[in-house]
Amino acid sequence: MVRNAGGRVFDALRTLAVLQTIGPPGTIVVMHHTDCGLTHYHDSKIREALSELAPGDKTAIEATRFGEIKNSIEDSVKEDIEMLRASPWIKESTQLIGLKYDIDTAKLDVVEQNQAQL
């Protein structure tokens, strides 16, 4: 399990790539939940706060993507699954599953799923 703010794939891609090299690829599950903080707290606010914290790093801060979720949770899951599909670091034989967890109902919905290409 790789956890990070917003559950976004781009933060986890390096770790997932390493895991692809040390064993069979298996399955990668991307799961985002409703009422995620990054649906409310956007990159612009994070940049503003970090620029106050580290004014000398403004160029790096402005260039960094922090993982805001602009649209629906389903859309963010689909974006992340697409990023994995497009990555040359993820084997085609890796099964990709995208899930949405509803924190109010504890319901887990499949948003996207592909069968591994063996």
Burial class of residue 19, CB neighbours in 10 A (0-12, 13-18, 19+): middle
3-state SS assignment for residue 111? strand
32 marked among binding-site residues:
no
Largest CA distance in the chain: 50
The answer to whether 33 is a known ligand-binding residue is yes
Q: Binding site, residues?
A: 33, 36
Q: Binding site for Zn(2+), residues?
A: 33, 36
